[in-house]
Amino acid sequence: MNSKFFKSVWNASLGNYVAVAEYAKNRAAGQSVSIKTPTPSVTDSSTPICRLSRLSQALLGCFSLTLVGVSTASYAACSITPGGSVTMDVPGGTCTVPDGSYTGSTYVFETTAGTIENSGDITLLSSANNTAEFVRAFNTGAQVLLNNLTISPFASSGAGSYGLHTGGTGTGGNIAISGLYTFVGSGTVWGAAAGNLGTAGTITLNNVDINITGGNGGAGLITSTNASNVLTVNGSLLLRNAATNSQGISVGSNATFNLHGSGAATNNITLTGSGSTGMLLGSNSTLDVTNLVSVIGTTAASTRGLTANGAGGQALLHGGLTAAVRSHAITAASGGHATISGLTTVSTTENNAYGAYATGGGHQSPLPMPISPPVVGVAMGFMLQMVR
């Protein structure tokens, strides 16, 4: 369509119409004025925007539906593979996942930006036992919000596997499980880890059932070394760990671990792997426990109950402690502190094992408590009921 001001001419080399001013007819060749519109990534002649007059096409070109804004092809939003993996990397976006079972290799649920959520029941399975992280939330703004989550039995065949794992840049990722979290695995595994290699991250759980059936190293629950790392359990904890040289709970330097179950919530840790510790704290870390916590480790050698190892590390057990282990029941070393309120009952069976052992500036100072007879001993100001 032409006018008195210009006419539209098809330019085969450009692949679109150009507008040529009428005054160019009396000018030398090459002096015409042309308008080239952006070439769209996808051109669909059936769309309304493409059903324009030739004049409009000359001015605007034939645009696809990506005429305005950023193409959604520039980033992967929420990718859900039925029965497979789920990924999310849209800042501020939300990926709602249907109930069911999902299987992955390196990751099963992973977000580096935005939210993955489900309010029902999710089961995660390992592909060939090489899953590195079943649920991964890395970087500020990345979070996974689930209700009931089950990670089914698997045997880690790699360097190690995480059930839940947060970390990354800034304040790190966040994972929250509002219902029941169940984890069953073996090898070098961590049921849940807040933070990674010095980076930050938070995990909030309600009721927890972790069963590590074998392996070496790892831990049931861990907060890695970083002041921003916090792992909180608001319900009951049932943790069974058969791995050797492992921990039920591990609190890295400067990190925080809360067992804040209210009412009838219970905290039970059972160790059946040699050289393992029920609760281990690093320097300047905090373990805060509301209710009675029980650590049982009588079947394997060199098991320990509570160890606060490092200057500024403090274990605050407000509901008392029951520890039946082979080696030291309570240890405060290198400036660590253990403060226990309530009845503290400990049992040790190995030679040179202590109910309460303070060394290298460690200090144990429970509040006054009722102690059932017989009172066997007082160690470093720590009143104990000793059973041997």
Instruction: Please give the pLDDT value at position 18.
Output: 54
Residue with tokens 């791995």: 243
Instruction: Please give the pLDDT value at position 101.
Output: 97
pTM of the predicted protein model = 0.76
Among 33-47, 128-142, 263-277, 341-355, which stretch is predicted with the lowest mean pLDDT?
33-47
* Phi, then psi, of 45 in degrees rounded to 5: -70, -10
Residue type, 176: A
Tokens read off for 189: 């595994």
Q: Residue 381 above 70 pLDDT?
A: no
State the Cα angle at 263 between 233 and 222, rounded to 5°.
15
CA distances from 37 to 9, 45, 62 (A): 14, 16, 9
Question: Among residues of the chain, what percentage have pLDDT more than 70?
Answer: 72
Instruction: Please give the pLDDT value at position 213.
Output: 96
| Res. 362 pLDDT band, cuts 50 70 90 | low
Pairing of strands 356-359, 107-117: unpaired
CA pair distance 100, 112, nearest whole angstrom: 22
Cβ(177)–Cβ(209) below 8 Å = no
What is the arithmetic mean of pLDDT over 33-62?
Answer: 37
What is the arithmetic mean of pLDDT over 7-22?
Answer: 58
CA pair distance 330, 338, nearest whole angstrom: 8
Instruction: Please give the pLDDT value at position 197.
Output: 67
Among 13-17, 166-170, 257-261, 287-291, which stretch is predicted with the lowest mean pLDDT?
13-17
Residue with tokens 């109950």: 305
